[in-house]
Chains A and B, each alone.
Chain A
């Protein structure tokens, strides 16, 4: 048996998760439709005034993205847990952290990336300027992976628990607040003519920090849950 390189392993896990998801496309679409619906509900709730909507847009899009990413967290490990694949992953000689990182990246491609691509269309509904839209995309690109990573820890901790879906939101949402603050802060900064560099840098810093620590923490959480 030839030994897999780390990148090979990562690609293998990502390909596997993507292929599994492509066989059940409805799951991916549900998250995206939920995101679009939540964002579209806000104008109906607060009124169609464009000035106010423009001001609210980054916050609304970001909160909706946060909620949508919570929705799909339960799926990250549960299928593998139920059919025993996860146990095999824990026993595998390869690093569990890298396996987990692969699963997180696949989860982001399926639940985060579609939101990022959809966000500009929703931004137009709120009459955002082109410049703001670009910053919104950049902040979502930097921020949504962090949501997936923090969410992975919560998903691993609540694996196989009753009422896990609500519980995972309770655990993860408070930890995601800094991402929300800097993400919306960047869009608001560009709308009021200030520099976005500081907000995007902080988001990038959170991304790097999460990239380094959360796969390992998630792996530990999985070990605790699977004992």
Chain B
């Protein structure tokens, strides 16, 4: 038996698959969020230095990680769409952008809330904060460019080029801690042992997974809307039960 590897790269088949997957990811994400936050707020001990304020990391750290990863994934999809001219990849890229921007915004917002009690200021011009802000600007640029071009094909290709150009910035964000001498604490999570309590680690990794699942669920839901919008003149869309009724 031969497997058709490209079956789900057609929007018409992917639409149905995405519809089936969305509830699974959404519910799993909700359950993991509840568990992760429960452990984070009630089980994890109080930090010796930062007392209760550190608990923001259960949202802040996953949001920061997601905002950077999603940009790379978005640029990856955009590049696929540019190189192989696959419609679905470009649709995925434009579906990922708002979620990435949301995570970047949450990361900045929670960072400010943490910075006030810890550093005594809502905002400091530290390299990591600034890079995260630049990342948010890059998301805005991608969305704005895509929105201002009427021809969807040209919009996909132009914003793909922009996303690839912008992805040069993501490594700079990651290495900025080492490049500039800054206020921001270095990363605590290392591959060789960490200085964190086990419950804190568990809570953080559970919320991180929850954020991943949330991003997948919301992107699939959004890509379904984009597919419907772009393929509205095709026959298979007309035959969908939800369109007919």
Contacts and interface: CB of A to CB of B under 8 A. Distances in A.
A184 interface: no
B169 A167 contact: no
B143 to A, nearest CB: 10
Nearest to B136: A174
A192 B149 CA distance: 47
Nearest to A218: B161
Interface string B134-147: 10011011001100
Interface stretch (A15-23, A76-84, A96-104, A154-162): A154-162
A224 B169 contact: no
Nearest to A159: B158
Contacts of A227: 153-154
B172 interface: yes
A221 B148 contact: no
Given A175-B166, A178-B172, A157 B158 contact: yes
A173 to B, nearest CB: 7
A116 interface: no
Contacts of A173: 137
A40 interface: no
Contacts of A221: 158, 161
A161 B165 contact: no
Interface residues of B, number: 20
A153 B165 CA distance: 9
Contacts of B145: 157-158, 167, 171
Dominant secondary structure at the A interface: helix
B154 A171 contact: no
A170 B144 contact: yes
Given A163-B148, A167-B144, A177 B134 contact: yes
B165 A174 contact: no
B87 to A, nearest CB: 16
A220 interface: yes
Interface residues of A, number: 20
A227 B157 CA distance: 11
Nearest to B180: A181
B161 A217 contact: yes
Contacts of B154: 224-225, 227
Contacts of A161: 148-149
Interface of B: 130, 134, 137-138, 140-141, 144-145, 148-149, 153-154, 157-158, 161-162, 165-166, 169, 172
Which 5 residue pairs spanning A and B have beta carbons closest together?
A174-B137, A171-B141, A224-B157, A157-B158, A174-B134
24 contacts: A153-B161, A153-B165, A157-B158, A157-B162, A158-B145, A161-B148, A161-B149, A162-B148, A163-B148, A167-B144, A170-B141, A170-B144, A171-B141, A171-B162, A174-B137, A174-B166, A174-B169, A177-B130, A177-B134, A220-B161, A224-B158, A224-B161, A225-B154, A227-B153
Given A167-B148, A170-B141, A174-B137, 7 more contacts: A158-B148, A175-B138, A175-B169, A177-B130, A221-B161, A224-B161, A227-B153
